[in-house]
Amino acid sequence: MVSNTEPAKGLPLRARVAASVSRTAAALSRAAGRGDGSVIGGWIGLKIDPDLLAHLAAGRQVALISGTNGKTTTTRFTAAALGVLGKVATNSLGANMPTGHTSALARAGHTPYAVLEVDEHYLSRVIDATEPHVVALLNLSRDQLDRAKEVAMMAALWRDALAGHDETHVVANADDPMVVWAARAASKITWVASGQRWHDDSWVCPECGAHIERSGDDWFCTGCELRRPRPQWYVEGDAVRTETGERFTLTLQLPGRVNIANAATALAVAAHFGVRPADAVPRLAQVTSIAGRYATVVRDGRTIRLLLAKNPAGWLEAFDMAEPVPTLLSINARDPDGLDTSWLYDVDFSPLRGRRVLITGDRAMDLAVRLEVNGIPFEHVKSFAEAVAAVPPGRLEVIANYTAFQDIRAELDRVN
């Protein structure tokens, strides 16, 4: 990354100084080996100019991507699609709070477009600061029980965040009742049938408290008029059907139906900037692993694939992506993971039945108890290296939560 890019022309003096200091601090932090520096750089910049994010966003057409799962991948797909039009600033390293956004925009210099991944809790603040052209809302489900807001509260925050931003176009998942309820606060909405494998956070209507019924792809509240809107974009197998009825088969390097859905959302967002899907589809096929997610590495004759799963909905998606081959599960409960592992009981591990399952991580014993309850045989290994040695040459799938995933990446010498 370049750290000496010219600041965007026309910034107020205070913002120019703040942006410059922000980039310098980020560069120093990188030079000191303290990560990519985007958080510290953004933090210092915002201390000097609290409106720095708004100043840096001014003059750019912005897309924001938020949701519990899939936002890093969807951000990368959307940035790739908007690349058809010109240069795009993006927080591709996943620093998804205002400090990270500030740093990403300062570092990028002047670009006509920006695509930002936004932590769900900060969506309101970032909408106010960046006045986005499009906001994509992917899904809402339970995450980090000890500190995240409840799903219904988060949906209410999103709803409030969208109210009063009549110029912002919302692209939202028609299959998630919580997202639909929140998105209806917007005046311009495009619905994408992105799917929802995880239903356990949306049985109760956020509008009236009645039960939500499901029938095939359809869903509706039994107590009020909240129901699945008719989607303009939807996924058909490995293809995306657009709002004009065109059909594009996607050849992605990332696995699973969920990534086809993420790509569909990215195409729908890009379409609102004037990108034709036919021009964007080949760019989506170029997107490979993101910060090690879905990376495949070969080690001692084993082909190892890394799947990150941070919460119950993410684990269900990972089971769907994982091939029926030996599978290593690794769980930690350090600060970035959330300290409470009781979510393990929200996940049905039975899709792993019939595979050879190995477990490791700080909280392997919690996982062991959970697998016992599910009747899944497993072997405990002390380390990732021991797991690799324990399986025969061939495929090994690894599913890990956040810090467990980072530990394994470190062991694999920062694969990318």
Site residues for Zn ion per CB under 5 A: 205, 207-208, 210, 221, 223-224, 226
SS3 61: strand
> How near is the Cβ of 221 to Zn ion at its closest, in Å?
3
Pairing of strands 218-221, 233-236: unpaired
> How near is the Cβ of 48 to Zn ion at its closest, in Å?
47
CB nearer to Zn ion: pick between 205 and 381: 205
CB nearer to Zn ion: pick between 203 and 345: 203
Q: Please give the structure tokens belonging to residue 300.
A: 């001692």
Exposed e or buried b per residue across 314-335, where buried means at least 16 C-beta atoms within 10 angstroms of its C-beta? bbbbbbebbeeebbbbbbbbee
> How near is the Cβ of 178 to Zn ion at its closest, in Å?
12
Distances (CA, A) of 111 to 61, 298, 320: 9, 38, 38
**Strand ranges of the sheet holding 247-249, from the earlier edge strand across to the other edge:** 88-90, 113-118, 61-66, 134-137, 169-173, 188-193, 233-236, 239-241, 247-249
Q: What CA–CA distance (Å, rounded) separates 32 from 41?
A: 13
CB nearer to Zn ion: pick between 15 and 205: 205
> How near is the Cβ of 135 to Zn ion at its closest, in Å?
24
Exposed e or buried b per residue across 49-62, where buried means at least 16 C-beta atoms within 10 angstroms of its C-beta? beebbbbbbbebbb
CB nearer to Zn ion: pick between 35 and 209: 209
CB nearer to Zn ion: pick between 70 and 206: 206
- What's the half-sphere exposure (Cβ side, CA atoms, 13 Å) at 402? 15
> How near is the Cβ of 139 to Zn ion at its closest, in Å?
19
Q: What CA–CA distance (Å, rounded) separates 265 from 252?
A: 14
> How near is the Cβ of 226 to Zn ion at its closest, in Å?
5
CB nearer to Zn ion: pick between 44 and 178: 178
CB nearer to Zn ion: pick between 210 and 365: 210
SS3 272: coil
> How near is the Cβ of 142 to Zn ion at its closest, in Å?
20
